[in-house]
Structure 1
Amino acid sequence: MSDTGPEAVREPGDNFGDLLARYRRSARLTQEELASASGISARSISDMERGRVRVPQRRSVQALASALTLDTHAQWEFVRLAKAGRVRTGTRPTGTAATPSGRPQQCQLPPEVADFTGRDNEVEQTLQLVGEHLRTNLRATPVVVLFGAPGVGKTSFAVHIGHRVGKRYPDGRVFVNMRGIDTNPLSAHDALGQLLAAMGVAAAHLPTGVHGRSTLYRQLLSERRMLVILDNVADDAQVRPLLPGSSGSLVLITSRRVLSGLEAVGRIQLDVLDAAAGVRLLESIIRPDRAARELDAVHRVAELCGNLPLALRIAGNRLASRPRWPIANLVRQLNDEQRRLTALTAGDLQVRAAFEVSYQQCDAISGMVFRRLSLAGGPDVTVAQTAVLAELDETTAERHLEELVDASLLDTDVREGRYILHDLLRLFAGERLAGEDTAADIQAAEWRLTEWLLRNGIRAAKLLAPDWSERDPDAVVDTAEDAVEWLDDEQAHWLAALRQAVRLRWHAAVLEFSSSVRWYSALRKTSDVWREVFTYGVNAARALDRRRDEAEQLNFLGWALNLVPALHHEAYQTHRRALAVAREVGDRIAEAWSLMHSGRAELDDGRPGRSVELLTSAIAVFHQTGHTFEEHIALSYVGLALHALGRYEQAAAAHRTAVGEFRRTDSLSHRNLVATGLQRLAETLEATGDWQTANATFQEAGAIAVGVDSPAVEADAWFGCGRCRHEMGDLRPAERHLDIALSIYTDIGDRWKQARVLQRRASVLDQTRPAHARADREQALEICRGLNTAKAHSLAAALSAAINASEDLS
């Protein structure tokens, strides 16, 4: 069997780049050949395999999967891993710090930072890179570039590595500060002078030119095994004459720039610390006992510092120098964005100053782009958004974004074509914006981006409407599938733009956006987002005195409220208000939608009989007005209510009729309704005990859900397959299906269904791995205790009884 089967992608350390490279080699394709077969550029494929792009665009993934001729299951895993963007994890390797050999008399390696922490993965990557290079390429000197933003701890990291590997280099370890961010960086000529002096060359014997010094330096190194750390390098030219040509030594370079012009080097990017490591660093500075007394405040300080090591060290030093100060005092100062950078000052350490040096090295346009990025409403920014903010064409905008990446003022996201600005750098960029740009220019840029995001959001969302056939040549996307991806990726941005439009009282734009995203919301049932969006829609309709729109928006809002179990009654009341407005203005379609959604709310609140009455009334109105499509949506809800009443045969008939109607059109929204309808039909078949047919129906629903990128329906399908396979006695497949369902429910934040899956998986594990079943029940119980609903209380009681019963048996 080829390695394109499902088992080939289940290694816990896999990331997408590794997987892509393995599949390409298995298919015996070069990057250029795969590029030709897929239509994806060879450069993009190279970036993916090297990990620079860890979450590529959906279209790129599908094109690659097709070109690699993966089977169905392998394609599913391939796409899933591409979405997840998992990175390789590892444990910290053991080792003993070495002491200097004592031969070089100058440029000694500085002592290691006592509280070095949080770099286990990067340390392992660096040590593996050095070790692999020494094993496989004995003719070349290992050169490793350690790059990253100001304040991430590049020097401390290099020194730590130097002490870890020092014993491999008995002829000495030298450290030279190249002063790359100073006004007058150390020249290659002077740096070579320091290095040669450290190697015992008398001043009188030093060659006068760079070429002569470089030649002598390389000649001496060819006879030795040394570690050379070149810290704070400005650019490629400054360091190129200092790179040896022999194989016995190691060169570590730290720089804020990527130094992409240097060839045959390994590169390790240092980012901010993870949350746990940030807290550990603070604890080590202010003492664990003090931190333990205000642990929540310590976590908040780390969060407000963006887990940037320099900021954490400054915050820790400030607290350490004020032993009687409550940590909450610093939290209060850092909470104020206008004061945060000023508060992050301790002695001669300043976060602002570290940023300022890199910023001043930018050219005028890159500096302007950097400042304007502070106006972006999300955690990242695209080339198109940057072009709008800076009034540049996209090619020019991308070039300056890459310049900022090279300067480590910006980072690339794991998703293709996106860039990230660290929170503290965003504040610094905002300061520079306020200080250097006029108020009129700032307002114009904000308004341009707000209008652009809302306009393109409306265009994308309209592509998802079942009856939408128009094509806008100016839209950022032109297919429903791409529209979903764009709306997913830009959610933080379009939501920020919508809030800005509300503040600006752009009521018409707010209402049009809220109306347009109706069908997208059906794919992404995130209640808090839609409660906010549709509340804005209701208020905008009222401000414009558009009563028909008010009824429609109230129905949308009620639907969003009904997604939360504790809000079913509030949802029902909202739909009744919509019904009153609809009848007042004589809008029969809005009336029917109000009746239908009222019925769904009643069903979810435990009143299926009343639900059938309301849904039947909705169907009658839809039928009278010739709205066949909407009539069958209501019929699908009737099937749910009949199921709840135990009338399974009638419920199955209703679901089959609804699914048949939805299949008549092949739009993305129709396919999503087909998947949902099949899911409901499968649950009814399951209730009758027809496990085989139910399982097949769940599988069809899941396959369609994957195609339309509807994770909630997909998870429900896997959960259903897991239940059916469990009932049929297929325990291992049941466990695998439940694992996938749990993973998706966790990703989308559906806590109630997480608890239900855990309960079912515990029942499977009772028969396969009893020791693990208790852990699942305890986790499910913890979730239920955090959900204030009758169903959660009931499930919690059942879980507690099962846990107690297992204790009695043991």
Structure 2
Amino acid sequence: MRDGTPLTGDFGRRLRHLRTRAGLSQEALSHAAGVSVRALADMERGRTRGPQRRTVQVLAEALGLDDAEAADLEKSAAVGRPRPRTATGPAAPGTLALPRDIKDFTARGPALAALLELAQDTGPDRPGVSVVTGQPGLGKTAFAVHAAHRLAPHFPDGQFALDLHGMDPEPTTPRDALARLLGALGIADAAIPAGTDDRAGLWRSMTGDRRMLLLLDNAVDESQVGPLLPGAGPALTIVTSRHSLAGLESVHRTDLALLRREEAVELLTRIIGPERVRAEAQAARDLADLCGHLPLAVRIAGQRLLSRPHERLGKLVARLAAEGRRLDGLQAGSLRVRAAFALSYRQLPADTRTFLRRAALAAGADFSPETGALLAGLPYDDAVACAEELTDAGLLQSDAAAERYRFHDLLRLYAAEQVAIEDGTEIRDAALDRTTRWMLRRATAAALHFDVEHEGSPPGGAHDGDPEPHGDPDPDGAPAGREEARAWLEAERAQWLAALRRAHETGRHQQVLDTAQAMHWFSDINQHWEQWVEVFQRSAESARLLGSRRDEAIHLNYLAWSYNMCVHDPHNALTSADAALAAARDCGDGLQEGWALGYGAGALHRQGLVPQAQARLRAAADCLASQKSAQARLAELTILNSLGTLLRQAGQPVEALETHRRSERICRAGIPGRTDELIALYHAVARQQIGNDLAALERWSEAEPPLRQALAAFETAQMPAWAGPARLDLGHVLSALGHPEARVTLLAARDDLTGMRSPRQAEAAAALEALSASSALSASEETADAR
């Protein structure tokens, strides 16, 4: 024993002890040794029991070990290294010929060109190595074989291909692979050395001056490939693997991507012939889409159609359109998409298999490790390691900028199948419920960063009979501040919305109400999100099922707002507002009655019913003026601003200005119990409308300052849904003044409003056209005057 750890064996425990003794985190040791964090984690957890000698050496140097300790560490690694299998004897010379090329090979032009350039760059001191990686079904072997045939004339000293059986339970060992390669070069069985290192040395010496091409197909890892690579000379080696083989240094990489749609249709055309594709062009495109543009899937579909020359493409499209039958439909003879995925799936450790299949339950196009951890029931760090392992294995694609991952559509279907087979309904539902509870607690806490009325208590208070805890489920990892909260809510939009659906469908109605209530102010900032209609439909229904008429009135009002502002549907907005009005009157809630009248007025105005809208707004103002609460004062401000706007649009700008000045006076007086930040927002709205009233009276110079003040306030509060319209209003005034900032202001407004799908984007475009026409006319007049 030395410092409490064994001299040999249990490499992972010894490495972890030495790292801890040195005071290094995995990240720090990774940086010092040049070994990935995932590889270190695998070593310490015992997943990698016998790393390569070179890896052990760099770890020993980074840990500052003396010679004796380094030797001990190497001994413990050697114990875990796989023993070579007994050789079955080398193949006869020439038996490692390239497989047959595929005549209908399609696309991959840039990748082929890059390989040709690499082949031309090889020389006596520059052996080339290209690693071809990608997810199952991308056609890595087909690409490598096709490339090898194309490149064969450049390598007159021979072309050899060896399948390393990386997906088999026992992949080919380097020792056995070297025996086959040496045999292919004509070395007699008796002359082949016994040890792997000696065989590798003989292989390198024999290939040092040969211009030869070597295809190593289906590699499992770097330790399998490393001894097979020529050390010098003008050789080119093409390695294919489902794993990234990131540990191979100084190599050219070909990361195959999915085919483009037109390339997938071209492949289908080459298989079944142009006549059938021309006859059903749209069905051919639909078929390519249903295959996810995955070469293996397109080939299988094509081979199936080729074997049935009278079958219409549309028939296969109809069959594959049903997700539950798609993988069954994608098989032709021995070619099966499901089998290709299963090969990789079976190679994964148990936790990683769990992570992969449960991740298929995530909502949306991509997911975070956080979501994967919840669904799989794994610690976050383990989930990150699983996600990276799956990325390296080509089973997930990682986002280029964020820590998020996505499936290929067909692989997601396969993973979902495994959930049904291996987990069953009970475990699946438990995973979804666990994720739902966590996601809604995080979403509620994140949304409250934007609730300027929030006093620090849970949105719904303490609820009798509701055991759900409040607050963020992971305070240490919670978003800090508005920017992080906004980023999380936007990135996880699909996930927390799916959680809200599940909570509603499984009867967790109080949690639905709490989350929707917390989202109230955040929804104002993101009015262009159409899903607010669903959020408030579900919360209003949950309130009804809980028997709370007051909550029903609140959430029906939110629903009326979302119909008005998010999807521009005044008919449903009016229906919801009328239902909110009835609920508010039933429970005697004057505040919600005032809001319902106001939202109904907005819907009537959008339907062109201006007198009726004005009447409702006046009734709303009277109702709210009789209420004493601070919330009623805020509601009154909103109603007054809306009434003034309607008066201005009805050709009554003087009365509109008077109404908005009244709103501004309330803001200046302040509202007890409400923050300056909140009052500043309402004051900004009043200033915006005062600026518009002055513009309607053609008092342009007076209109500019309040509009600039309003825009600045909205930008400071990070409320783009409010800043966009204010910028457009300012642009109109600047145009009328002939201000040099007019054009850039209108351009920015148009872009903002277009991004939010606001109906006012057309108004911004028209203002820009008018400004351009005016500028052109002025230039023409100046030219005429100059003449």
Q: Same fold (TM over 0.5)?
A: yes
Question: Residue 408 of structure 1 aligns to a residue in which SS?
Answer: coil
Match of 1:511 in 2: 513
Distance 1:516 1:214, change over 3 A: same
Q: Give the Cα–Cα distance (whole angstroms) in 2 for the partners of residues 768 and 163 of structure 1.
A: 64
Tell me if the contact between 1:691 and 1:728 (Cα under 8 Å) persists in the aligned partners: yes
Distance 1:468 1:402, change over 3 A: same
Superposition deviation, residue 156 in structure 1: 3.3
Match of 1:35 in 2: none
Residue range with higher mean Cα deviation, 496-505 or 156-165: 156-165
Q: Does 1:458 align with 2:444?
A: yes
Tell me if the contact between 1:166 and 1:227 (Cα under 8 Å) persists in the aligned partners: yes
Match of 2:137 in 1: 151
Match of 1:550 in 2: 552
Tell me if the contact between 1:188 and 1:239 (Cα under 8 Å) persists in the aligned partners: yes
Match of 1:520 in 2: 522
Question: Residue 405 of structure 2 aligns to a residue in which SS?
Answer: strand
Q: Give the Cα–Cα distance (whole angstroms) in 2 for the partners of residues 712 and 164 of structure 1.
A: 57
Q: Give the Cα–Cα distance (whole angstroms) in 1 for the partners of residues 695 and 237 of structure 2.
A: 65
- Opposite residue 563 of structure 2, the aligned amino acid is L
Match of 1:257 in 2: 243
| Unaligned stretches of 5+ residues in structure 2 | 1-27, 35-92, 458-470, 778-787
Question: Residue 322 of structure 1 aligns to a residue in which SS?
Answer: coil
CA offsets per residue over residues 540-562 of structure 1, 9 Å max, x none? Answer: 22222211111112111111222
Match of 2:649 in 1: 644
Q: Give the Cα–Cα distance (whole angstroms) in 1 for the partners of residues 723 and 511 of structure 2.
A: 33
Superposition deviation, residue 565 in structure 1: 7.0
Tell me if the contact between 1:682 and 1:698 (Cα under 8 Å) persists in the aligned partners: yes
CA offsets per residue over residues 767-789 of structure 1, 9 Å max, x none? Answer: 9999xxxxxxxxxxxxxxxxxxx
Distance 1:330 1:713, change over 3 A: farther
Superposition deviation, residue 162 in structure 1: 4.9
Match of 2:537 in 1: 535
Counting only pairs closer than 5 Å after superposition, residues 107-506 of structure 1 correspond to structure 2 as: 107-108=97-98, 110-111=100-101, 114-117=104-107, 119=108, 126=114, 130=118, 141-159=127-145, 162=148, 174-196=160-182, 206-246=192-232, 248-470=234-456, 472=471, 474=473, 475=475, 476-506=478-508
CA offsets per residue over residues 200-223 of structure 1, 9 Å max, x none? Answer: 767776555433343344345443
Superposition deviation, residue 587 in structure 1: 0.4
Counting only pairs closer than 5 Å after superposition, residues 44-59 of structure 1 correspond to structure 2 as: none
Question: Residue 387 of structure 1 aligns to a residue in which SS?
Answer: helix
Superposition deviation, residue 690 in structure 1: 7.3
Match of 1:574 in 2: 576
Q: Give the Cα–Cα distance (whole angstroms) in 1 for the partners of residues 506 and 772 of structure 2.
A: 56
| Unaligned stretches of 5+ residues in structure 1 | 1-39, 47-102, 771-810
- Opposite residue 494 of structure 2, the aligned amino acid is A
Superposition deviation, residue 727 in structure 1: 6.4
Residue range with higher mean Cα deviation, 289-298 or 581-590: 289-298
Superposition deviation, residue 490 in structure 1: 1.3
Q: Give the Cα–Cα distance (whole angstroms) in 1 for the partners of residues 675 and 117 of structure 2.
A: 51
Among 632, 636, 648, the alignment partner of 2:637 is 632
Tell me if the contact between 1:464 and 1:668 (Cα under 8 Å) persists in the aligned partners: no
Counting only pairs closer than 5 Å after superposition, residues 719-738 of structure 1 correspond to structure 2 as: none
TM-score normalised over the length of structure 2: 0.73
- Opposite residue 114 of structure 1, the aligned amino acid is D
Q: Give the Cα–Cα distance (whole angstroms) in 2 for the partners of residues 159 and 42 of structure 1.
A: 36
- Opposite residue 486 of structure 2, the aligned amino acid is V
Tell me if the contact between 2:532 and 2:566 (Cα under 8 Å) persists in the aligned partners: no
Counting only pairs closer than 5 Å after superposition, residues 81-92 of structure 1 correspond to structure 2 as: none
Question: Residue 370 of structure 1 aligns to a residue in which SS?
Answer: helix
CA offsets per residue over residues 235-258 of structure 1, 9 Å max, x none? Answer: 111111123344744433221111
Distance 1:298 1:705, change over 3 A: farther
Tell me if the contact between 1:151 and 1:351 (Cα under 8 Å) persists in the aligned partners: yes
Larger Rg: 2
Tell me if the contact between 1:523 and 1:672 (Cα under 8 Å) persists in the aligned partners: no
Distance 1:354 1:744, change over 3 A: farther
- Opposite residue 548 of structure 1, the aligned amino acid is R
Q: Give the Cα–Cα distance (whole angstroms) in 2 for the partners of residues 745 and 123 of structure 1.
A: 44
CA offsets per residue over residues 700-750 of structure 1, 9 Å max, x none? Answer: 76666666554544554665677677767789x877666665655555455
Question: Residue 150 of structure 1 aligns to a residue in which SS?
Answer: coil
CA offsets per residue over residues 47-66 of structure 1, 9 Å max, x none? Answer: xxxxxxxxxxxxxxxxxxxx
Q: Give the Cα–Cα distance (whole angstroms) in 2 for the partners of residues 165 and 557 of structure 1.
A: 65
Distance 1:212 1:377, change over 3 A: same
CA offsets per residue over residues 651-686 of structure 1, 9 Å max, x none? Answer: 567668768988988798778767766766666666
Match of 1:807 in 2: none
Q: Give the Cα–Cα distance (whole angstroms) in 2 for the partners of residues 413 and 168 of structure 1.
A: 38
Superposition deviation, residue 42 in structure 1: 12
Distance 1:442 1:528, change over 3 A: same
Q: Give the Cα–Cα distance (whole angstroms) in 2 for the partners of residues 454 and 212 of structure 1.
A: 61
Distance 1:163 1:741, change over 3 A: farther
Match of 2:24 in 1: none
Q: Give the Cα–Cα distance (whole angstroms) in 2 for the partners of residues 563 and 143 of structure 1.
A: 58
TM-score normalised over the length of structure 1: 0.71
Superposition deviation, residue 498 in structure 1: 2.0
Tell me if the contact between 1:116 and 1:156 (Cα under 8 Å) persists in the aligned partners: no
Superposition deviation, residue 608 in structure 1: 4.3
Q: Give the Cα–Cα distance (whole angstroms) in 1 for the partners of residues 95 and 676 of structure 2.
A: 75
Superposition deviation, residue 606 in structure 1: 3.0
Question: Residue 427 of structure 1 aligns to a residue in which SS?
Answer: helix
Match of 1:562 in 2: 564
Q: Give the Cα–Cα distance (whole angstroms) in 1 for the partners of residues 715 and 153 of structure 2.
A: 53
- Opposite residue 373 of structure 2, the aligned amino acid is A
- Opposite residue 413 of structure 2, the aligned amino acid is L
- Opposite residue 534 of structure 1, the aligned amino acid is F
Tell me if the contact between 1:561 and 1:571 (Cα under 8 Å) persists in the aligned partners: yes
Superposition deviation, residue 234 in structure 1: 0.8
Tell me if the contact between 2:105 and 2:146 (Cα under 8 Å) persists in the aligned partners: no
Q: Give the Cα–Cα distance (whole angstroms) in 1 for the partners of residues 102 and 587 of structure 2.
A: 76
- Opposite residue 519 of structure 1, the aligned amino acid is W
Question: Residue 182 of structure 1 aligns to a residue in which SS?
Answer: coil
CA offsets per residue over residues 508-547 of structure 1, 9 Å max, x none? Answer: 2223333332222212224641222222122222222211
| Paired-residue identity, % | 34
Question: Residue 293 of structure 2 aligns to a residue in which SS?
Answer: coil
Q: Give the Cα–Cα distance (whole angstroms) in 2 for the partners of residues 576 and 424 of structure 1.
A: 46
Superposition deviation, residue 365 in structure 1: 1.6
Superposition deviation, residue 358 in structure 1: 0.7
The number of residue pairs the alignment matches comes to 667
Distance 1:661 1:215, change over 3 A: farther
Tell me if the contact between 1:107 and 1:194 (Cα under 8 Å) persists in the aligned partners: no
Superposition deviation, residue 594 in structure 1: 0.7
